[in-house]
Amino acid sequence: MSTDISDIHRLLLPFLVTGLAGTELTQAEREMLSEAPPAGVILFHRNVESAGQLGRLTGEIRRIVEAASGLPPLIMADHEGGRISVLARAIGAPPSQMAAWRPGSEELLAGIIAATSRLMRICGINLSLSPVADVNVESLNPVIGTRSFGEDPEEVSAAVRIAVRAIAGEGILSCLKHFPGHGATVFDSHLTLPVIGRTIEQLREEELPPFAAGIEDGADTVMMAHIALTEGDSPASLDRRIVTGLLREKLGFEGVVITDALEMAGALPDGIAMKSIDSASGGSKAGDAVPAAIVARALEAGNDLLLMSRPLEEINAELVLHAAALGDELSTAALAGRMEESAARIVSLRDRANAAFEADPSIGDLQAFLDKGRDAYVNEALLVRSVFSAAGSNSPGNNRRCPGELVLPVFLGAKPDFDSYVVRRFMFRVLKGLGEAGPYIGPGDSIPDRGPDRVPERFFDPDKLSPVRTGDGLETGLYLFEPVRRPAARRALFLLCRKPPPEDVIRTVAAGYDSVVVAGRPWDAALLPPGSSVVVTYGIYDAAADLVAGMIRERVRRAP
């Protein structure tokens, strides 16, 4: 079949969601959005600088796409809370889902979700890529963890219902992810194709109930996971028996199904990943296209929207390069009928997305609100007390919080732990809460004076552990970031917690610490020796950083 590029754009772009290059539209992006707009865009950290900037960006996207297509674009973001808070520079990092639900308060959870959704709406986001409906049944899961509401299907189902209703109540669209359940994996689908070793019957008992609950309560979209049930299976995202047979026919979902990013290794042949899909540099070269066969398979399986996280300019260049192959793959009569069904669902969804912009407060209102402090809308003090009360009684290990000597922060981890903006934000907020008083040990030996956007040049690497000298005779606290993800870090922590400190060193990393704050993964508390005093935050987010700083200040006040 011979198809020119205008035909390919007209045929495929209404089914695509793409990324953007930066914090404002390039001239090329403006022209492309005007001539052949995709169904929507997805925003990442690279697209966010402030609340005002984000409002201007989304407003311009909406004006251009509506003029070109007569429909509002879907403008979406992964702002779940905790570490996955891509809008943090604009509206802060809310609690992780696990932290928000840990106290078991429906009112508290609904308030957190509603507050987050309202802030997203004011910034021009009309589709929240949440809630995460995965049941985190695997403690070594490298990609879900505290993103999940918990480990019990019934509890997760209850929380998913609350979240779906709260998001809808603020006038934006919701997305259940990652179907049929990413919670049992020990591998990251960004890097490979995880095999969960589950039958469909087993899924129905553990992984599927939260999705069924969310669908029953009106979830607008469902995102497919790049996972295989058993060895040799296709990714669920490309498997018709999962997308159409299980999600559509068995669970009765009638809304829009969206793939996870098709650049991820879990969706690609031979598990070969492209370059980072959330890179400020723009991702892959145009020649590194998602294969035309993968695009066709995703649509044939029953997906409606195809997510490609790299910038629009790259995607359009790939359409030019691979027009013939795409034309051939998409030319079958059966696929044409399948795409007509998806087109109708997508148009309906985009029509409903208009609600997010009706009677919308101005971005100026948002900036004034943020300037007065976020606890004017969400009582973070109440939230922190609730979360930590639950942590003290229910988290792994012995969680007594004991009075003791002065505690000062040590951030333990290797460089990848500190690459995340939200992690750096957490560290900076702790230090700022201490009045920028030192010492500050690893990464670096002084407080980062340029704010959380600055990547520390040095870090405390557990692969190269050496004693830490504070030089002031004060006991030192430890704040952990995901050491379980690297065996060397796990071994180092395990050994150091049991190793008596040398006489000439005040404390060695974790040996005999009065208190340890586990900020990344609650399961890491199990690595600490019996009798350790542990505080578990169930995620890395703003309110937890504030409490950590307050806890240290209280110890300073009580120190002799």
Would you please indicate which residues are annotated as catalytic (active-site) residues?
190, 260
Tokens, residue 189: 């689908």
Distance of CA 538 to the CA centre of its chain: 14
Containing 223, the helix (H) or strand (E) segment is strand 221-224
Cβ(40)–Cβ(30) below 8 Å: no
- The CB density around residue 149, as the number of other CB atoms within 10 Å, is 29
Instruction: Find where tokens 């509206």 sit.
Output: 91
Q: Round to whole Å and give the CA distance between 84 and 420.
A: 9
Which residues touch 5 (CB under 8 Å, ≥6 apart)? 319, 320, 323
Cβ 421 vs Cβ 453: under 8 Å: yes
Considering only CA atoms, which of 462, 441, 465, 443 is closest in space to residue 454? 443
Euclidean distance between the first and the last CA atom of the chain, given in angstroms as a whole number: 82
281 alpha-carbon distance from chain centroid: 20
User: Are the CB atoms for 540 and 94 separated by under 8 Å?
Assistant: no
- Residue 340 CB-half CA count within 13 A: 7
Beta-bridged to residue 479, according to DSSP, are 411, 517
Secondary structure of 19-43 as H, E, C letters = ECCCCCCCHHHHHHHHHCCCCEEEE
Residues 6 or more apart whose Cβ sits within 8 Å of residue 308: 16, 17, 18, 19, 261, 262, 263, 290, 315
Residue appearing with tokens 């409606």: 304
What's at 360, amino acid-wise? D
Task: Confirm if 495 and 364 have CB atoms less than 8 A apart.
Answer: no
* Contact (CB, 8 A) for 285 and 253: no
Report d(CA 458, CA 451) in Å as an integer.
15
Q: Report the C-alpha gap between 97 and 95 in whole angstroms.
A: 6
* Sequence-ordered list of residues with C-beta below 8 angstroms from that of 167, at least 6 positions apart, any chain: 113, 114, 117, 128, 130, 131, 173, 174
Q: Which residues of 422-441 are buried (b: 16+ CB within 10 A; e: fewer)?
A: bbbbbbbbbbebbeeeebbb
Tokens of 257: 């199904």
**Helix, strand, coil content of the chain in percent (nearest 5):** 45, 10, 45
What is the Cα–Cα distance from 288 to 272, expressed in whole angstroms? Answer: 11
- CA–CA gap between residue 332 and residue 338 (Å, rounded): 10
By the 10 Å C-beta count (0-12 exposed, 13-18 middle, 19+ buried), 93 is classed as buried
For β-strands 84-85 and 79-81, DSSP reports them as: antiparallel
